[in-house]
Each structure stands twice: as C-alpha cells, then as structure tokens.
Copies of this chain bind each other. A is one copy, B any other.
Amino acid sequence: MTLTLNSPCDMHLHVRDGAMLANVAPISSAQFAAAVIMPNLLPPILNADDALAYKDRILAITGESFLPLMSLFFSPKLTLQEIRHAKNAGIRLTKLYPQGVTTNSAKGIREILCEENLQIFENLQNEGFILCIHSETNGFVLEREHDFLPILAEIARSFPRLTLVMEHISDARSLEVVQSFPNTFGTITLHHLLFTLDDLLGGALNPHVFCKPCVKLPRDMQALRDVAFSGNPKFCFGSDSAPHLRTHKECSQCGAGVFSAPVALSALAELFENHGALQSLSAFVCENAPKIYHFTPPQKAVQLRKARFDVAEEYGGVVSLFAGKSLSWILCD
C-alpha cells in the first residue's frame, strides 16, 4: 500500500545553521515541499538581508525544489521600512517570542502589548504580513499557554486584518480561542499529538520528548487529535522539529526541543491511520497551510509505503523521536 501526499508543508521548523543545517535540512526537504524556517539563531535573524543570506545557505543544501519560507525574529527594530524591504524580498512572516520562554529567546519581547509593538502590529497588518507567535507567558509551566490567550485575543481583535498563527498548540483551551477569531490559526506538532506528561515523566524521565511548550494532559492531546483528525482548516502541521546534540539533551540541564524531522510523515501516517483518520492527513499536512498562509508550495508528490521503517539511533549526533524503534510507513526513495 502506498500513500501519496501532494506538496506536504512543515509550517514550523528549526534547521539551525552551519554543520547542523547540513545535517538536518536534507531530512526535511526529502519529505516536505516547503517549511517555515524559524529565525531564532544566535544572533537571531532580525532583518531581510540576514534572512535572504540564511535562505541561500539553506537552498545550497536542499536544492531549489524545496521552499524555505523565511521569517523575521520580531523585535523593536522591525521598522516599517524594514517590513517593506522584507516584503519586496518575498518575506511575509515574523515570529514573536516572549522573552526567555524557549531556546534562544533571550532577545524576545518582554511586554507584548506595549505601544511600540502595537505600531509594529499595525504596520505588519498594513503590509499583509503574518504574525507567528510562541504563545506562552513566564508563569507556571502548565498554565503558560492558557495565560497567554488574553494577549492573543487582544491582538486578534485589535488587528482583524492581521493573520495570527498560534504556534505549537499544546493546551485544549487554546483551540477554542483560535477558532473564535477569523484571523487566528494554529500549528500543531507531531509530539503534541502523540504524547502527554506520562511520556515525558510517567516512567523514566525522557529528555527527548521535552519541549516548550511542554506536552500536557490526556485531555489536551485528545483535543489536538480531534482537530487534526477532522482536517479542521484552522490548523495545520508544524513539526517544531528542533535538533539538539545528544550531549545537550542527556545532561543536567536538558535543552527544550524534540527532533522529529526524520519521522514526521511516517509517524503522522501511522497515527492518523491508527485512529481511522488517514483521509484527513492531506488536509492537515498539505492543503490547510497554503490557504492559511496564502502561498503556493512547489509541486512535490511525496510517497509513503506501508513497510517497516527502522529509525536510526542518531542523525549526526542528534537523537530523533522513535530512535531505535520502528514505524509502519516508510518514505519511498
């Protein structure tokens, strides 16, 4: 049995830079026609020139058949001039990180709704940008996403023509809010569809399923599955695949991030199939994103075959989700 996905897209992807970029980018470009590239390098990608240079480094590795949708790290430096410059360069995404909420977010925003930012939101709206948000506060870890919802709602109400994407939704209570505004959408990761706190710390502690926002309760996972398995057009796939070297995960202060790129489509196919939802996989991973983000991915028919996929123990020093285990769908060469 084979399954063909037409131009699947990963709308939230970390490919890093340098040697790690060379290690992980081909893994994603083998499966996806396009991906939203996160800008939280060190230093972050703050402007169009840096984004274009980064794009070139990515394309040098993946080849031109892969479309990296570049995003700018939201900062006070995002002037109207810079926004227009970016727009002219084909960039239409900016990613807002509250300060300190995740990997490489030290330069993120402390006060989201300050006057200065409202002006930037206004400019983004006027220039047709999309604002992608890591929607967490600095509160108690299980409530951070929920505590952020009033901020998201405030931006959605104040800028009704600005498309907002709530990234890597982890909390059931977010789904309602995203569905209540015409201009809000959400990405959902593989790991938030697969896991709860039980998988992170219910048995032995597993740093390889540790991420921000953290996986949550069974009812949260179930609610995320419900919208994904129904092909709900407000939500699309964004892996948030984030490579960390094994030494940075298996230590005393383990970095946040799940490396799911090698298994993304295989594990999604298995999960959707196991829950009788294979017919909705294409909406979730192919069709919804182009409608939400108003873009056309390159033509790319990706085939999966129902056959055993033995996941490698490591990919260049990085431990993948399901490392050393096997999945039931494998990417055709």
Residues of A whose CB lies within 8 Å of any CB of B are 140-142, 196-198, 200-208, 210, 214, 217-218, 249-256, 319
Contact = CB atoms under 8 A, between A and B. Distances in A.
B255 A140 contact: no
Contacts of A198: 140-141
B210 A319 contact: no
Given A250-B251, A251-B250, A256 B205 contact: yes
A214 B201 contact: yes
Contacts of A253: 203-206
Nearest to A324: B252
A204 B255 contact: yes
A200 B253 CA distance: 10
B254 A140 contact: no
A224 to B, nearest CB: 16
Given A217-B140, A250-B250, A205 B197 contact: no
A140 B217 CA distance: 8
9 contacts: A140-B196, A140-B202, A141-B198, A141-B202, A142-B197, A205-B205, A205-B256, A207-B252, A250-B251
A201 B204 contact: no
Contact of A252 (B197, B206, B218): B206
